[in-house]
Chain A
Amino acid sequence: FVPRSTSTFDYTSYHTLEEIYAFMDLLVAENPNLVSKLEIGHTTENRPIYVLKFSKGGTNRPAIWIDTGIHSREWVTQASGVWFAKKIVQEQDQGLANILDQMDIFLEIVTNPDGFAFTHTSNRMWRKTRSKHSGSLCVGVDPNRNWDAGFGGSGASSNPCSETYRGPYANSEPEVKAIVDFVKNHGNIKAFISIHSYSQLLLYPYGYTTTAVPDKEELHQVAKEAVAALSSLYGTNYKYGSIITTIYQASGGTIDWTYNQGIKYSFTFELRDTGRYGFLLPASQIVPTAQETWKALEVIMAHTRGHLY
């Protein structure tokens, strides 16, 4: 099932992994001067891991990273990622012109392909990767506890059957290692935004320690402005703050690692649920969710471009 173009693609519906990958190829084919598809690794079950690159030229320009779907059951995030990809193309000479004239954008729509495929074929509620580690019957690692930032500390489980199992060692998951290697090789990423659902939060580091990040004031102010922009569209209420003070202690988290890599503007979103459906957010809410989130992303991207470091 492949639509003729990204203009006829149905953004108001959930899609399978194959349909999302087909969408990505269409977007690249339609915009060869702006969009390219990078393969940054392979998953446990040997699926390719793709990242879309949006660039108007230059080499290794300062960049913004956005990823969705690291927890596979959070379907509204991958669906929003598809919408963001089309929006970046549509806005390349309008709202994003300023940013794309100086920066690149990397967008990883399906950050956990094995888990996402599994939610379509076997278990809609699957959250983790699909890796198998010796000595346990249970499958999968929480990819948001597997990063080398406070790894193994409180706020993650050492039980392979737990939904927050951290894995046998940091970066044990190929889905995580692929991003780690990409970020290190690129070396010029200035903002890293990892998008989850649900509970309507905009979070910044740290999650593994109560120690405040040196840039706390600035990150708090950016989060405040981003949440105000988000809420202005449909009135969706968000809270914002550091991970550990806003929700709970979580070790081995993505943006703790990216912040410690020197990527100052590191944020995690927990998108809407509007208090009724949790992970089973109806497809009718995909576009409104993506639209309001985009308003916040615009604030973060504009701030990053205006404060390159």
Chain B
Amino acid sequence: TENFVGHQVLRIVPSSDAELQKVRELQELEHLELDFWLSPRGLGDPVDIRVPFPSLQPLKAHLEANGVPYSIMIEDVQALVDLEQMQMLRRRR
């Protein structure tokens, strides 16, 4: 089973065309293995990206270097997945 230990979901809300373009360029960086939960749409529309642990620091550095603000929507993806599984098992019992 795939685990998501250390994965985070970052939320970016592009407020300018330059920021939107920077976010769109992230989709080409395949080596970061980013999972776009919400793809870039328009200004003001949130872009949610699940980021594997090894890519977290490089991506955050890249965003900060380019002046693209972001927030952390989910600090620990695996913790939420574990909670979901536990709830299912508990309800089943």
User: B residues 63-93 with Cβ under 8 Å of A?
Assistant: 73-74, 77, 80-81, 83-84, 87-88, 91-92
Say if the beta carbon of A7 comes within 8 Å of chain B: no
Q: A124-B2, A247-B41 are in contact. Are A14 and B88 (CB under 8 A)?
A: yes
Say if the beta carbon of A277 comes within 8 Å of chain B: yes
Q: Point out the residues of chain A lying under 8 angstroms from B36, CB to CB.
A: 163
Bound complex: CA of A275 vs CA of B48, how far in Å?
Answer: 10
Contact of A283 among B30, B39, B87 (CB under 8 A): B87
Of all chain A residues, the one with the shortest Cβ separation from B7 is: A125
Q: Point out the residues of chain B lying under 8 angstroms from A280, CB to CB.
A: 74, 77, 80-81, 84
When the two chains form their complex, are residues B38 and A163 in contact, meaning their CB atoms are under 8 A apart?
no
- Size class of the A contact interface (CB-based, 8 Å): 20 to 34
Q: Point out the residues of chain A lying under 8 angstroms from B14, CB to CB.
A: none
Q: Point out the residues of chain B lying under 8 angstroms from A246, CB to CB.
A: 41
Say if the beta carbon of A122 comes within 8 Å of chain B: yes
CB of B60 to closest CB in A, whole Å: 19
When the two chains form their complex, are residues B35 and A123 in contact, meaning their CB atoms are under 8 A apart?
no
When the two chains form their complex, are residues B41 and A248 in contact, meaning their CB atoms are under 8 A apart?
yes
When the two chains form their complex, are residues B81 and A124 in contact, meaning their CB atoms are under 8 A apart?
yes
When the two chains form their complex, are residues A199 and B84 in contact, meaning their CB atoms are under 8 A apart?
no
Interface of B is mostly: mixed
CB of B71 to closest CB in A, whole Å: 11
Q: A125-B2, A247-B41, A283-B87 are in contact. Are A163 and B35 (CB under 8 A)?
A: yes
Q: A125-B2, A248-B41, A278-B73 are in contact. Are A14 and B84 (CB under 8 A)?
A: yes
Interface of A is mostly: loop
> 5 closest Cβ contacts across the A-B interface?
A13-B91, A123-B2, A280-B80, A278-B37, A247-B41
A residues near B (Cβ < 8 Å) are 1, 10, 12-15, 121-125, 161, 163, 198-199, 246-248, 275-280, 282-283
27 A-B residue pairs with CB within 8 Å: A13-B87, A13-B88, A14-B84, A14-B87, A14-B88, A123-B1, A124-B84, A163-B36, A198-B38, A199-B46, A246-B41, A247-B39, A247-B41, A247-B45, A248-B39, A248-B40, A278-B9, A278-B37, A278-B38, A279-B37, A280-B74, A280-B81, A280-B84, A282-B84, A283-B84, A283-B87, A283-B88
B residues near A (Cβ < 8 Å) are 1-2, 4, 9, 30, 35-41, 45-46, 48, 50, 73-74, 77, 80-81, 83-84, 87-88, 91-92
A-B contact sample (7 more), CB < 8 A, given A198-B38, A248-B39: A1-B92, A122-B2, A124-B84, A278-B38, A282-B84, A282-B87, A283-B87
